[in-house]
Amino acid sequence: MLETRLWIKQFRVDRQLTQQEIAERLGYSHSYISKLESGSIPLNNKFLAKFRYVFDVKEFNAPHHNKVPEQLFQNLYLSLSQRNKQKSEYLLSELQRLLPISQAAQVSFLFRLYRFYHATLELNITEAKKLLPQISKNALQLTSTGLFLFYKSLAHHYIQTDQLLSAHKAMEQATKHKQGEDMEYHLFFAMLYSKLNFVSESNKHIEKANQLLQSDFQIAKMLQIRIITAINLLKTHEYEQAKEEFNQILDSPYHKDYMIKTELIYYYLAQIHYAQNDYEEAIRLLRSAKVSEKETHFTVKYLYLTAKIFWKLNREQNALDYIRTIKKLASNQKYQYKTLLLELEIHNQLYTSNTIQLLLNKIIPYFKDNADLHEKYKCYGLLQDICYRMRMYKQSADYLKQMVLIKEKTSNYILKK
């Protein structure tokens, strides 16, 4: 890809327009356009958006001067799309070596975009968060193909961090730039709908991804399909089938080579054993997950389930020890709130007016902003129960109505705040 500023200059020359004429049509000064083309001042999203609107430009697309990075980028995209961990990391390091500071800004930006894509596939939330502000700032410089990659990667990041409304908006943007079928697009939609507990909608996208897999078989995509299928089986309480799927994935000789997060599979298996009251096995699996987990966002989830299990086993002190650790990590706001409610329950302080205020003023607004209908439903269920116990029957009935409304939204796949 040629730098966008050079593309704009070529666009002007091809149409026999002067810098003054471009300036007048866009509402800028002649000196501004001159400095922009020469590289004296940086491009910004406001200018690019106006340029696209005035001249009806769909994308800034031009050939790349540097053939070596271009070929490496193509190879990197292929290896990333196939989730080939070893090859992707090698190509990223090669690009890092070949791209000096003096390299064109657009090429460096593209490199950061691919690093972000790689980080989201690896579920490296820390790195993805660091890269995101830089990429978002310059996203309008991308071609339609680049924007599709950006938005679907962004959606994947938001799915993993439980920002479900933002994830849905990013997938809507990806849809606008999608050209032809893309298996990963359907996989990410399947993940999103699964997190939203829209299991039947999730399964529709899994079915579509399976159809595409028939004509373009990739081990990584096959494993990803099986993981989402198993998660949906877990959500519909088909525990033995889900357990079989997860264990087969762990037994596969390929999962470590294709960016499959083993720790999360242990976590899902722990959830199954927890649901089946097999607490000792659940704790064993959670220990396996925690021992190699590098991301605190996921560690908090494992610790929360461990604390719940110890509370179930009447080991109050153990549960409170894990709760203290979760608070120290100060990561994953969703599970920080869930942990807070668990702590109140352990201390027999859950059924109070203070909890009502906490739910109404902080916790429910958080889940509402992130379109987490499942957690929002559970919060209203808790409110309904607290009010009933406190003989606040009218309020209890009102919260029961809210639960019914959420159920209707879920059954009709309505995703709104």
Is 92 or 173 the better-scoring residue by pLDDT? 173
6 pLDDT more than 80: no
pLDDT computed for residue 255 by the predictor? 65
Q: Crossing angle, helix 316-329 and helix 296-312, to 10 degrees? A: 160
Tell me: the pLDDT tens digits for 157-199? 999 999 999 999 999 999 999 988 899 999 999 999 999 999 9
Question: At residue 62, does pLDDT exceed 60?
Answer: no
Distance between CA atoms of residues 219 and 208, nearest Å: 16
Average pLDDT over the chain reads 87
Number of neighbouring beta carbons within 10 Å of residue 19: 18
The reported pLDDT for the residue numbered 217 is: 82
Q: For residue 272, which phi and psi values (nearest 5 degrees)?
A: -65, -50
**Which carries the bigger pLDDT value, residue 16 or residue 401?**
401
| Maximum mean pLDDT: which of 124-133, 246-255, 407-416 | 124-133
Pick 35 or 117 by higher pLDDT: 117
Alpha-carbon dihedral angle through residues 170, 172, 176, 180, given to the nearest 10 degrees: 100
The position carrying tokens 């990561």 is 331
Spatial neighbors of 414 by CB under 8 A, at least 6 apart, are 408
For residue 153, pLDDT beyond 70: yes
Question: Does 396 score more than 60 pLDDT?
Answer: yes
pTM (two decimals):
0.78
Contact 158, 170 (CB under 8 A): yes
pLDDT of 232 above 90: yes
**Helical segments of 236-315, H only:** 239-251, 262-275, 279-292, 296-312
Question: Which long-range contacts (C-beta less than 8 Å, at least 24 apart) are formed by 21-30?
Answer: 25/54, 25/55, 26/50, 26/51, 26/54
State the pLDDT at residue 133.
92
C-alpha distances in angstroms, 86 versus 41, 82, 118, 201, 292? Answer: 39, 11, 12, 33, 19
User: Above 90 in pLDDT, residue 275?
Assistant: yes
Q: How many CB atoms lie within 10 A of CB 134?
A: 14
Q: What pLDDT, on a 0 to 100 scale, did the predictor assign at position 2?
A: 38
pLDDT the model gives residue 143: 81
What is the model's pLDDT at position 165?
Answer: 94
Express each pLDDT in 18-44 by its tens digit: 888 888 988 889 888 887 777 667 777
Chain mean position to CA 249: 22
Single-letter residue type at 326? I
Is it the case that residue 66 has pLDDT exceeding 70? no
Quick one: average pLDDT of 232-261?
89
pLDDT at residue 368 tops 70: yes
Contact at 8 Å (CB) between 22 and 12?
A: yes
What is the crossing angle of helices 183-195 and 219-235, to 10°?
20
pLDDT above 80: residue 74: no
